[in-house]
Amino acid sequence: MRILDCGLVEYREALALQERLAAEIAAGNEEETLLLLEHPAVYTIGRGGDLANILDSTLPVERINRGGDVAWHGPGQLVGYPLVHLGRRGRDLHRWMRFLEEVLIATLVAFHIPAHRVAGQTGVWSSRGKIGFIGVGVRHWVTLHGFALNVCPDLRSYERINPCGLAGCAVSSMMMETQTPPSMAEVKHTAPVLFLQQVTKHLPRTPPPPSLVPR
């Protein structure tokens, strides 16, 4: 699996890249890929999301084909788009979301920030609020979208939405949770290492069926 650090990328540009790579992975022409990036400030809303959860915004809003409700993306937030062929890793989307949560929890713990799940919710919480966000899609059993981790963003943009459709949801960042916050570069280095360790351990690839050779 390859890791691509894409830097700061407009949302629509990143979505087009995801869709192109996912199609190539599904066709067997490209290897699985983890895209790491940041976006200029934007709100996205998933398939079942309610626009009423955007309370007041001058930011662009992108309606997209993922699960979940309203999310904010912007500078200081690490976004990861793992393009993984679940058809070769168990075909379990629920397990995939729990896996992404574990990767975020492990990343936070690596920087001495305790983190946990909340029963009945998707994502990751720290002591001060929600800090990691999950929203996924799948096409031909190749995953799209993924996770977002608040490293050092301006959290004021969350005041204009109900994050993930949760009214009054407190939101946090790694900067808020520790007196020695890591840099974005440090998190970008650590998160993919943990991702690769976890995916190899918990979602191993199954070998493709043997080719039928005429006798």
Catalytic residue numbers?
Answer: 164
Nearest to 12 by CA among 62, 70, 76: 62
Q: Is 147 annotated in some ligand binding site?
A: yes
Q: Is 111 annotated in some ligand binding site?
A: no
What are the DSSP calls for the chain, one per residue? -EEEEEEE--HHHHHHHHHHHHHHHHTTSS--EEEEEE-SSEEEE-TT--GGGB-S--S-EEE-SSSSSEEEE-TTEEEEEEE-BGGGTTS-HHHHHHHHHHHHHHHHHHTT---B--TT--SEE-SSSEEEEEEEEEETTEEEEEEEEESS--GGGGGGB-GGG-TT--B--HHHH-SSPPPHHHHHHHHHHHHHHHHHHHSPPPPPPPP----
Q: Is 146 annotated in some ligand binding site?
A: yes
Binding-site annotation: residue ranges for substrate: 146-148
Binding-site annotation: residue ranges: 146-148
